[in-house]
Amino acid sequence: MNSPTRAVKDIARTSLSTQKFSALYARTLAYFQCKQVLELGTSLGINTLYLAHTNNTHVTTFEGASTIAEIAKDTFRFSNISNVRLIEGDITTTLPYYLRNTHKIDFAFVDANHRYEAVIRNFELLLDASHEKTILIFDDIHLNPEMEKAWAEMKANELVYATADLYRCGFIFLDPSLNRQHWILRF
């Protein structure tokens, strides 16, 4: 992880969502009929394919590493996916610009920078671009103490009505029709 070069197999081993979770995200999109989908942290683009597989979705995915973004582009070309837009560059600048110039989002999957400040900044930006039916999913919520702190703070936000902690990831629901609840689920 600290080497300036990494093999694709090493990136895949440490950075990809499992098939079980990727399928869960896709089923969530389909069930809630999410159309405008964001993914922060494209990696190799495998999870993006699951998100884009749902009918009538448009997926915008963000990747900061240009070499990894090129691999993801190859993945999309090989899969003949046309409803994905990949935005390359530092998410701290590309995401705010994108959100200022787009409609409200229905779903966001966040698996990018795993530091407290970055997670909270992305959470706040996504909240501003959300509506009450938006679903936010943060990956690796128990990865380190900073992620634990960020998860606790996000759950306590007044706009968050329900959460589901699946250990690997956390679902955030903004729907005020839900009773304020925080579930811990085995999946």
Residue closest to 107 by CA, chosen among 178, 46, 50: 50
Residue 101 makes CB contacts below 8 A (sequence gap 6+) with none
- Model confidence pLDDT, tens digit, residues 23-74: 999 999 999 999 999 999 998 888 999 999 887 899 999 998 888 899 999 9
Q: How many domains does the chain have?
A: 1
Residue closest to 131 by CA, chosen among 177, 182, 71, 95: 177
Is 90 part of any domain? no
CA 34 to chain centre: 14
Q: Provide the domain limits for residue 26.
A: 18-59+72-83+100-184
- Model confidence pLDDT, tens digit, residues 78-114: 998 889 999 999 999 999 999 999 889 999 999 999 9
Tell me, what CATH number does 37's domain have? 3.40.50.150
* pTM score, whole prediction: 0.90
Structural Rg of the chain based on CA atoms: 16
Q: Do the Cβ atoms of 40 and 12 come closer than 8 Å?
A: no
Is 6 part of any domain? no
Distance between CA atoms of 3 and 23, rounded to whole angstroms?
31
